[in-house]
């Protein structure tokens, strides 16, 4: 829920030259971005599994795993599929540029570049990405909800939900950690004018749990006695 929690966009910089990394962090923070950094591709993928950057500045030439490979992996995962990637490289050859863009980079900047140039590209990419974000990807724990495609995955596995379960989960994911009574859920998910037995909520919660939780996965929906339900990973047994 990082994206909702803070208005400042989070930029991940993947770069093995520490002097350049320091310079980029300093200037991006000065511009009002939050910054997280990775020194190689594997670290980048680890961080991506834990955080939700709004954009990645990705160096092409990295030790062990190339920027191209990192980009490929970013595009392969549902959760990061639409994440804007700005590729940095020392190579200026047209064929490499084409290769980079084919791999899924959204833009491309050849080293050495000027700072205003970099900042302009970042701003442009974030602007372009905003419509996608408005349509929305919701993340909670290992659950990803793609509102546009009406698709839900948990730990990369496709979760099939009925329309009511989908709306129920969406509401929970928009308010993670909050407890809602059956009446509140009826109002929010079914609508205030629809008359349904409060017990109906239990039925749909049961279906949602069944669809969401594979055998070994923690139950992320918490039943709060006499109060209602919440989406809450903290209380789930690991």
Residues that bind Ca ion (CB under 5 A): 16, 59, 61
d(CA 33, CA 7): 9
Question: CA 182 to CA 229: how far, in whole Å?
Answer: 8
Q: Report, in Å, the least distance between residue 106 CB and Ca ion.
A: 19
In which residue are the tokens 């770069």 written?
Answer: 15
Nearer to Ca ion, 77 or 97 (CB): 97
Nearer to Ca ion, 12 or 144 (CB): 12
The pairs formed by 28-37 with CB atoms below 8 angstroms and a separation of 24 or more are 28/122, 31/119, 32/8, 33/8, 33/9, 33/122, 34/6, 34/8, 34/9, 34/10, 35/10, 35/11, 36/10, 36/11, 36/12, 37/12, 37/13
- Output the smallest distance, CB 61 to Ca ion, in A: 4
From the CB of 15, what's the least distance to Ca ion, in Å?
6
Identify the DSSP state of 218. P
Cβ closer to Ca ion: 61 or 124?
61
**224 C-beta neighbours (distance < 10 Å), count:** 13
Q: Which two tokens stand for residue 94?
A: 């047209």
């Amino acid at each position: 829920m990082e994206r909702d929690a803070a208005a400042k966009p989070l930029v991940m910089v993947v770069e093995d030259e520490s002097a350049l990394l320091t310079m980029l962090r300093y200037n991006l923070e000065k511009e009002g971005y939050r910054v997280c950094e990775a020194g190689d591709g594997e670290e980048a993928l680890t961080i991506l599994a834990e955080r939700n950057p709004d954009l990645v500045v990705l160096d092409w030439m990295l030790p062990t795993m190339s920027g191209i490979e990192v980009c490929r992996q970013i595009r392969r995962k549902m959760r990061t599929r639409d994440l804007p990637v700005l590729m940095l490289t020392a190579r200026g050859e047209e064929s490499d540029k084409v290769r980079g863009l084919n791999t899924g980079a959204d833009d491309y900047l050849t080293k050495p570049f000027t700072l205003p140039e970099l900042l302009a590209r970042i701003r442009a990419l974030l602007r372009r990405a905003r419509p996608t974000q408005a349509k929305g990807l919701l993340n909670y724990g290992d659950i990803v909800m793609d509102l546009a495609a009406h698709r839900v995955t948990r730990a990369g596995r496709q979760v099939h939900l009925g329309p009511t379960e989908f709306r129920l989960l969406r509401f929970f994911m928009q308010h993670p950690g909050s407890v809602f009574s059956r009446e509140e859920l009826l109002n929010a998910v079914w609508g205030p004018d629809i008359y349904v037995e409060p017990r109906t909520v239990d039925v749909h919660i049961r279906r949602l749990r069944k669809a969401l939780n594979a055998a070994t996965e923690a139950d992320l929906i918490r039943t709060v006695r006499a109060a209602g339900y919440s989406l809450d990973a903290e209380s789930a047994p690991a």
